[in-house]
Amino acid sequence: MRAIWKGAVSFGLVNVPVRVYAATGTKDVSFHQVHAADGGRIKYQRTCSVDGEPVAYGDIAKGYETEDGDLVVLSDADLAALPLSTGREIEVVEFVPEAQVDPLMYDKAYYLEPEKTAAKPYALLREALTATERVAVVKVALRQRETLAVLRVRGDVICLQTVLWPDEVREPDFEVLGTDVTLKPAELAMASSLVESLAADFDPTQYADGYREAVRALVEEKIASGDVRRAPAVAEGSGNGDGEVVDLLSALRRSVERAKARRGETSEGDEPAPEPVPTRSTTRKRGAPTKKGTSKSA
């Protein structure tokens, strides 16, 4: 796997340098659009709707159309200048029970790999999340845009799961749901019996993408029968470990004191710190002439 982002998880005064990897990938059969007559690749050219001329990719900006029909043009430089408070940091905002995060809000999943010098704080965060049965709500800037996410544990790995912003989740507005329905005890009992008869432990490995397998079989069948043609040639252009442990413990203590101070609590009379929790080991085309100028593409 190739890391798509490097930064650090920040909770309290503790920083955990990590690399971020995509946790999922599509396995769909990939197709090209081609001319049925000769197999030539289909190309799409970016053109301006005003004069019909081709537009170079570097001359394309983003356009926002107002309700009055006016157009606001934003360049890459305009967007790059927007402030990103999180930068190269995964900032922990709070720790919440995982059950409180609606699965509907989950978006993309990533794996976090600790840098070699961060194995201990990484394991510490992982075990703390597991022991408390909580997830960390974080903010992170991926692809130049700040997003909300949670850190949760999957096996030995901490996962970064981006979540949708609250206003991106639609509320169901189905009139039929407001209709009064009377359920007879016998009907409910029979439905429950049906559910129990099909009850099982979820094992995703027993499921497969039948359509994808059928497409691959079709392709293999055509290859075996000789129903293939030579693809036309494409035209050109197409640190010190001990010191870190001491610093980590000190940072944790100061973080706890700050958190208590914000809540108006005192450190006097606190119970002694528990014995360290044993941790698991961390795993490891030449194109057509192009046009200069700003397009009005959205």
Main-chain phi, psi angles of 72, to 5 degrees: -105, 120
- Look at residue 73 and tell me if it is in a domain: no
**Model pTM greater than 0.85?**
no
Please tell me the predicted confidence (pLDDT) of residue 135: 96
Please tell me the predicted confidence (pLDDT) of residue 79: 79
What gap in Å lies between CA 198 and CA 147, rounded to an integer? 39
Give the closest residue to 290 by CA, choosing from 101, 91, 58, 12.
58
Please tell me the predicted confidence (pLDDT) of residue 192: 95
- Look at residue 17 and tell me if it is in a domain: yes
Q: CA 141, 143, 144, 148: dihedral to nearest 10 degrees?
A: -30
Contacts of 135 (CB under 8 A, 6+ apart): 95, 96, 97, 98, 101, 129, 150, 151, 152
Q: Report the greatest alpha carbon distance in the chain.
A: 84
Angle subtended at Cα 45 by Cα 41 and Cα 48, rounded to the nearest 5 degrees = 165
Please tell me the predicted confidence (pLDDT) of residue 295: 43
DSSP string, 28-76: PPP---B-TTT-PBP----B-TTT--BB-GGG--EEEE-TTS-EEEE-H
Please tell me the predicted confidence (pLDDT) of residue 297: 44
- Look at residue 96 and tell me if it is in a domain: yes
Domain boundaries, position 35? 5-60+81-166
Looking at the structure of the chain, the number of domains it has is: 1
What gap in Å lies between CA 86 and CA 108, rounded to an integer? 19
- Look at residue 35 and tell me if it is in a domain: yes
Give the residues across from 161 on adjacent strands: 109, 150
- Give the SS3 label for residue 241: helix
Please tell me the predicted confidence (pLDDT) of residue 69: 87
Give the residues across from 136 on adjacent strands: 95, 151
Please tell me the predicted confidence (pLDDT) of residue 148: 94
Alpha-carbon Rg for the chain, nearest whole angstrom, is 27
- Look at residue 103 and tell me if it is in a domain: yes
β pairing state of 5-11 and 89-97: parallel
Please tell me the predicted confidence (pLDDT) of residue 234: 64
- Look at residue 9 and tell me if it is in a domain: yes
Angle subtended at Cα 249 by Cα 153 and Cα 114, rounded to the nearest 5 degrees = 40
The distance from CA 205 to its chain's CA centroid, rounded to whole angstroms, is 22
Per-residue pLDDT for the chain (298 aa), expressed as one digit of tens each? 889 899 999 988 889 999 999 998 888 888 888 888 888 888 888 899 899 888 998 889 899 999 888 889 988 888 778 776 557 889 999 999 999 999 999 999 999 999 999 999 999 999 999 999 999 999 998 877 889 999 999 999 999 999 999 999 999 989 888 888 899 999 999 999 999 999 999 888 888 888 888 888 888 888 888 877 777 776 655 544 455 555 677 777 788 888 888 777 655 545 545 555 454 544 444 444 444 444 444 4
The distance from CA 197 to its chain's CA centroid, rounded to whole angstroms, is 36
Please tell me the predicted confidence (pLDDT) of residue 39: 84
- Look at residue 149 and tell me if it is in a domain: yes
- Give the SS3 label for residue 12: coil
* Domain of residue 136, CATH code: 2.40.290.10
- Look at residue 157 and tell me if it is in a domain: yes
